[in-house]
Homo-oligomer: A and B are copies of this chain.
Amino acid sequence: MDNFTFYAPTYFDFGRNAEEHVGSLIRRFGGRKVLLHYGGGSIKKSGLYDKVVKCLDDEGISYGELGGVKPNPRSGLVYEGIEMCRDEGCDFILAVGGGSTIDSAKAIAAGSCYDGDFWDFYTKKAVIEKALPVGTILTIAAAGSEGSTNTVITNETTGVKTGAGSDLLRPKFSILNPELTCTLPPYQTAAGATDIMIHICERYFSNTEEVEITDRLCEAVLKTMIHETPRVIEDPHNYEARANIMWAGMLAHNNVCGVGRVQDWASHHIEHELSALYDVTHGAGLAVIAPAWMRYVLQINPHKLVQFAERVWDVLPQAESGSGTDEETALLGIEKFEAFLKSIGMPLSFAEIGADAKDIDRLTEKLLAGKETEGNYVKLKAEDVKCIYRSVCED
């Protein structure tokens, strides 16, 4: 186990009607003038917007508002938010929405306290040293941004989609009411579930040995997702299944499932190029890439894939039967994972997400810009990445 630090000081208020506490939570964490940040019209249609505004009014909290966050959130709106925060003297950002809205809010929070271009944090030219406090009301279980240090933004000028992170970006509070996710359509629900599972996989596939506790936690979240996801696809209004997924989504990305080890993150980065270029739903892109990544790295470094198959997918150890091999065990696990993704309506190929084999060189070049390799479980060179992309273009 590697040395690590872990600091996750977000206050979570979880359950039915939790959003009613938003006013008092903002007060508790020192907010007086709020930037209310959200996406499209869904929170207005659902009545959540009115509820939130009423809570702020009841608590006497003034606010400016900035809607319009899109999936794969863009730099343009971040600049707008930074300007608003400065002009209106906002001292707190409330994100109401999914991971895109929260990521955008985090970018505004850091950018507002920085004299330069906020994009410097994403190019690693600058380190986040200060940020406005952020609170969230989560409406989609997926990105885990409600408990994480991270933010991913797409730069509209360059087409680069990339992340920044800091302990300063952990939300002060996050309100998680599973009821708010019950109206989410099956495709978005499944894409969110896939994102959650791959957040775990990125942490699980590690060559750091002897981190049994973290392995077991990862497996716990994956097992939960395997159990609960089909239940919400079947019945979107299943509160209990939604609740388990919502909390699993937070745990999958606040890094409690990642400490003490080198993490991978190749699948996410390989996918980011797809969502940057084709604007595909991140989770759907991951459903295409992650199993393909697994099949590819299996040939090079099978050991953790064997454990994944046995412990997560209950595959019987093939080698023990005498006639099989560990690789066969691992492959059966990957096949079960692919079947699972298919069963919840996720794509598994380039064709299904509108991606095109002719872009593979370009995707790879952007991914590796300035880097020799991608990922850690297996260090992938350009040709490896192309093989992974190509493997999902066939048939």
Contact = CB atoms under 8 A, between A and B. Distances in A.
Interface stretch (A12-20, A154-162, A378-386): A12-20
A44 B2 CA distance: 27
Interface stretch (A58-66, A115-123, A242-250, A326-334): A242-250
Interface in A247-273: 247-248, 251, 256, 259-260
The count of identical subunits is: 2
Interface stretch (A45-53, A68-76, A221-229, A347-355): A221-229
Contact of A18 (B3, B11, B211, B244): B3
Contacts of A13: 5
A342 interface: no
Nearest to A219: B220
A6 B14 contact: yes
B18 A14 contact: no
Interface in A194-236: 209-214, 216-217, 219-221, 223-224, 227-228
A40 interface: no
A6 B12 contact: yes
A83 interface: no
A339 interface: no
Given A244-B210, A244-B211, A244-B212, A15 B4 contact: yes
Interface of A: 1-16, 18, 209-214, 216-217, 219-221, 223-224, 227-228, 240-241, 243-244, 247-248, 251, 256, 259-260
